[in-house]
Structure 1
Amino acid sequence: MRHGRWRFLAGALVPALVLHVVFVLSPYAQAFYLSLTDWTGVAGEARLVGAGNYARLAGDGLFLDAVRNNALLLAVVPLVTIALGLVLAGLLRSRRGAGGYQIVYFFPQLLSLVVIAVLWGFVYNPNTGLLNSGLRAVGLGGLARSWLADPVFALPAVMAVLVWSSVGFYVVLFLAAIDAIPGELYEAAKLDGAGAWTTFWRVTLPLVRETVQVAFVYLGIAALDGFAVVQVMTVGPGGPDGATEVIGLSLYRTAFTYGKFGYASAMGVALFFATLTLAVLALRAGRRERLELA
């Protein structure tokens, strides 16, 4: 019986492990190897350059601009999205007919990110776009500008699209987490004289902390990407003057425009470790908080 159980387990797990190695681990290993070469994407033997590609990254001005912009996205997009999601979820919890609002907020999730980028490109159009037309309609035409062509406003415009496209999902996610909180806790807080803000800060937020932590990891990964929105919306893309350059875009251009696949692989490996570090730090911080509370 024991041998039959092990055969069953091996038969169930080995095919899945083989597929995982071939289609997941193997591409990672190839990317790490290519990052140490000068491969141009053309069939032929790649020459090993060791850590030379990584040394080049430190002096690549466009790549450093991309790192800066991704860092700004990481600092702004998750925090704004989570804050808006929590506030809207808290407001919907006490409102009747909240299901209709959830559908409205969730609607952007039904659209692909490319479609969203195209639509917002029309909104930001300097001549016929909804944003500038609205400003002119209310007598604020002096604020109208070429949003995606202005180095000061181009990246915030991209951030706004990323927040708009994500916040609806996290409203629904946070609302589900809040609904799982026992109502007795809110009743006790009300009897103690706690106001809406105190109740949210002392009751709601601590009990949805794990959900917020997961949301931060996913939004952080999205902020470290940003490729699709920048590629579709911005001039260049990545412009103006590198104001919206992101690592994914630099990687794509380096590989498929300049044919420097080895150097592009080094960028990909750097992005991989940045994402891995973000996830590990976020998860460890959440675990430390749970241990302290225990």
Structure 2
Amino acid sequence: MRHGKARFVASFLVLPVGLYVFYVLWPYAQDIGYSLTNWGGYSDTQEFVGLDNYVRLVKDELIRKAFWHSVFFLVTVPVFTIALALLFAFLLNVGGRGSRAGVRGVWGSSFYKVVFFFPQVLSLVLIAIMWQAIYRGDEQGLLNGILMKIGLVDPEKPLQFVADPTPFLGVPTVLWWLLLIAVWGGTGFYMVLFSAAMQSIPKDIFEAATLDGATRVKTFFRITLPLLRDSVSVAWVYLGFIALDMYALVYVMTPSQGGPDHASEVFASVINFTAFNKGQFGYACAIAVALGIFTLLLAAVQLRVTRRERIEY
């Protein structure tokens, strides 16, 4: 009877496991295999070069640039997105004026949630094209047009937002403008996520804190934030993955898909340029493997650091 049940369960697992192996694990295995060769991508011949590609990427100045740019996004995208999402979620749920009904959110909170969530229904490429019009480096650009109208920008010298490699706080200016887009596009989703988590917290806790004289700031840091730790941890991991995949914004918005002067290069843009422009697919695969290992290590560290016993309420 037990063997029959095992065969019955196995019969249902064969197809999904087979599809997973064929469409997920096998491409990974191929990528690792190609990373050990000098394959050009368009020929049937390939020479085994061992770890030469990995030694090369360690010494590659462009890879080093892309790494630090990715680290910049890895730190700033989660920090700013989560901070804004938590602030808006708190205001929408417990930021309204007190009433006889107890603690409540601001009036029209459902409408604000829809407005904040709106960027999520747009594709990332569409968002990039829209912001490209805003950042346009002449008088036709929305930002340049406004700044020229109020006299803050010389019409003869319009700002080159995503074509400006000059550093600001040690980071190319173009990266800060791309960061603004990433935060704008992601805040709404995580605001809704945190809002749903806050609604699961009993209102009695907030009302008791209010009766004890706790301010909204103390309520947020002493009650709300600790009870949302699980949601924040999940958001941090997902935003970390998003920060490592800024390719769409870089490709659509920046000069030469990583410019100017490689000031906005990220791992994905380097992989694309190396494979399809230089014809060095073996080296591109090595970069992709390194990025995959870095991503797995990042996820493991984040989950380990944010893990703790669940709070019951």
TM-score in terms of structure 2 length: 0.90
| CA gap 1:213/1:144 in 2 versus in 1, 3 angstroms | farther
Q: Please state whether the residue corresponding to 2:256 is helix, strand or coil.
A: coil
User: 2:3 is matched with which residue?
Assistant: 3
Offset, 1:144? 5.1
Deviation at 1:50, TM superposition (A): 1.1
Partner of 1:204: 224
- Equivalent of 1:100 in 111, 118, 124: 111
Mapping 1:176-195, distance limit 5 Å:
176-195=196-215
SS in 2 for 1:225: coil
Distance 1:63 1:98 in 2: 45
The structure with the largest helix share of the pair is: 1
Task: Give the corresponding residue for 2:306.
Answer: 286
Are the counterparts in 1 of residues 227 and 311 from structure 2 also a CA contact under 8 Å? no
Q: Among 145, 153, 161, which residue is 1:141 paired with?
A: 153
1:111 partnered with 2:91:
no
**Matched residues in 1 for 2:116 and 2:311: separation?**
35
C-alpha distance in 2, partners of 1:35/1:87?
45
Change (3 A) 1:13 1:102: same
Going from structure 1 to structure 2, the CA distance change for 1:89 and 1:291 (only over 3 Å counts) comes to closer
Cα distance in 2 for residues equivalent to 1:79 and 1:61: 28
CA distance in 2 between counterparts of 1:181 and 1:161 reads 31
Q: Which 5+ residue runs of structure 2 have no aligned equivalent?
A: 94-104, 167-172
Secondary structure of the corresponding residue to residue 244 of structure 2: helix
Looking at structure 1, the residues matched to 214 and 148 of structure 2 have their Cα atoms a distance apart, in angstroms, of 44
Superimposed CA distance per residue, residues 113-151 of structure 1 (whole angstroms, 9 cap, x where no aligned partner)? 001001101100122111112222333225951111111
Q: How does 1:105-254 map to 2 (within 5 A)?
A: 105-127=116-138, 128-141=140-153, 145-152=159-166, 153-254=173-274
Kindly tell me: are residues 43 and 211 of structure 1, through their superposed partners in 2, closer, same or farther at Cα, counting changes over 3 Å? same
**Corresponding residue number in structure 2 for 1:71:** 71
Shift of 1:278: 1.2
Name the residue aligned to 2:96: none
Task: Return the offset for 1:292.
Answer: 11
The corresponding residue for 2:170 is none
Q: Give the aligned partner of residue 255 of structure 1.
A: 275
| Structure 1 range deviating more: 133-142 or 25-34 | 133-142
1:80 aligns with 2:80: yes
Offset at residue 236 of structure 1 (A): 1.2
What secondary structure is seen at the aligned counterpart in 1 of 2:39? coil
1:89-124 superposed Cα distances (whole Å, 9 cap, x missing partner): 111112122111111111111110001001101100
CA distance in 1, matches of 2:147, 2:81: 25
Structure 1 residues not aligned, in runs of 5+: none
User: Match of 1:141, SS?
Assistant: coil
Contact 2:53 2:283 in 1 (8 A): yes
Separation of aligned partners in 1, 2:209 and 2:39: 63
For residue 96 of structure 1, give the secondary structure of its aligned residue in structure 2: coil
2:89 aligned partner: 89
Q: Which amino acid aligns with 2:89?
A: A
> Does the CA contact (< 8 Å) of 1:135 and 1:144 recur in 2?
no
The residue type paired with residue 130 of structure 1 is: L
**Equivalent residues, number:** 292
Comparing 33-42 with 110-119, greater Cα deviation is found at 33-42
Residues in 2 aligned to 1:49 and 1:189: alpha-carbon distance in whole angstroms: 65
Contact 2:129–2:253 (8 Å) recurs in 1: yes
> What TM-score comes out, normalization by structure 1 length?
0.95
